[in-house]
Amino acid sequence: AKKAGGGLAVFFEDDMNRLASERAQLESDLRHAVQDGELEVHFQPLVDCRSGALLAAEALVRWHHPTRGAVSPATFIPIAERSGLIEELGSWVLDAACRNFAAWQRAGYPLARVAVNVSSRQLRSDRFVATVRTTLAKHGLRASQLEVEITESVLVDDMALATARLEELRRLGVSIAIDDFGTGYSSLAYLKTLPVDALKIDRAFIVDIATSSGALALVRAIIAMAQATGKTVVAEGVEHQAQADLLRQMGCYCIQGYFYHRPMSAAALGGLLAEQRRP
């Protein structure tokens, strides 16, 4: 029973226990989610802010839990990573992303590529590159039509292995983006040596560029660095016209964010692409 004085510690302990059992429950539910058809892939367009044209789409997984409703990937992806389920889940997302992209290609929609998030554990798996190659072949995609997004934490976990994997992917022709750029703590030196095609500036840097000159200067510096190292630069989390305008002025033309489009179902993106193609 709880004693006065020890109450706070007991409270924390209860909380920790609840969190742990909640996580265990989610993990066991997640084990069945793929087979039971509870997962869905949504897509968020990357837009050319000069023309409004859709350039690419990022696949973002959704989990419709039978009793909890929508569970955020920010909650279940870490659980999938820790439990090893991420390999199966990640392969499923890759397949769904490529399948939808192939259908848009056949319909003649002008989308250059589809981007898929890849976690550290997935990248380190020795089956990963083979899975990518098979999935591309299965759906008739060229490797250049796939972009893999990894975070800087992937590099910190095991730089040598990550680099080797990325080089294998690059040799296939897959393009590689560093996600949430700027939020990790790895060395900038890797930008020179790593086979990376694009940097995605994290939303945390974009959020106050219209109100803070410091934030604006920082983003300007990131854009300059990307350009100096020959990489495409993408701004994430753009929610306002003012942010899009500033980014365009600074030479960052590829934008992803609620200002243009929220993530949407494959069917909704198909509709949007059909609209864009119409003269």
In sequence order, the β-bridge partners of residue 200 are: 234
Q: Which is nearer to Ca ion, 141 or 178 (CB)?
A: 178
With contacts defined by CB under 6 A, name the span among 21-29, 115-123, 131-139, 266-274 that binds ligand C2E.
115-123
Sign of the dihedral defined by the CA atoms of residues 66, 70, 73, 76, in that order: negative
Can you tell me which of 49, 55, 113, 119 binds ligand C2E, judged by CB under 6 A? 119
11 binds, among ligand C2E, Ca ion, none (CB under 5 to 8 A by kind): none
Least distance in angstroms from the C-beta of 209 to ligand C2E: 13
Q: What is the DSSP letter of 194?
A: S
- How many of the other CB atoms lie within 10 Å of CB of 9? 11
Nearest Cα residue to 77 out of 125, 23, 114: 23
Q: Which is nearer to ligand C2E, 194 or 206 (CB)?
A: 206
In sequence order, the β-bridge partners of residue 148 are: 116, 176
Q: Which is nearer to Ca ion, 118 or 250 (CB)?
A: 118
Can you tell me which of 154, 223, 263, 269 binds ligand C2E, judged by CB under 6 A? 263
- Where do we find the tokens 């909380």? 15
Q: Which is nearer to ligand C2E, 29 or 202 (CB)?
A: 202
Q: Which is nearer to ligand C2E, 4 or 126 (CB)?
A: 126
Nearest Cα residue to 116 out of 131, 137, 138: 131
Residue window 206-225: x/- pattern of binding to ligand C2E, with contact defined by CB under 6 A: --------------------
Q: By CB under 6 A, is residue 237 in contact with ligand C2E?
A: yes
Q: By CB under 6 A, is residue 93 in contact with ligand C2E?
A: yes
Q: Which residues of 30-63 are buried (b: 16+ CB within 10 A; e: fewer)?
A: beebbeeebbebbbbbbbebeeeebbbbbbbbeb
Q: How far is CA 36 from CA 32, 63, 65, 91, in A?
A: 6, 11, 10, 16
With contacts defined by CB under 5 A, name the span among 39-47, 76-84, 173-181, 239-247 that binds Ca ion.
173-181
Q: By CB under 6 A, is residue 168 in contact with ligand C2E?
A: no
Three-state secondary-structure class, residue 169 = helix
Q: Give Cα 93 distance to the centre of its chain.
A: 11
Can you tell me which of 117, 120, 122, 256 binds Ca ion, judged by CB under 5 A? 117
Query: Six-digit token pair at 6?
Result: 């020890």
Can you tell me which of 1, 3, 5, 72 binds ligand C2E, judged by CB under 6 A? 72
Q: Which is nearer to ligand C2E, 44 or 232 (CB)?
A: 44
What residues line the site for Ca ion (CB under 5 A)? 117, 149, 179-180, 236
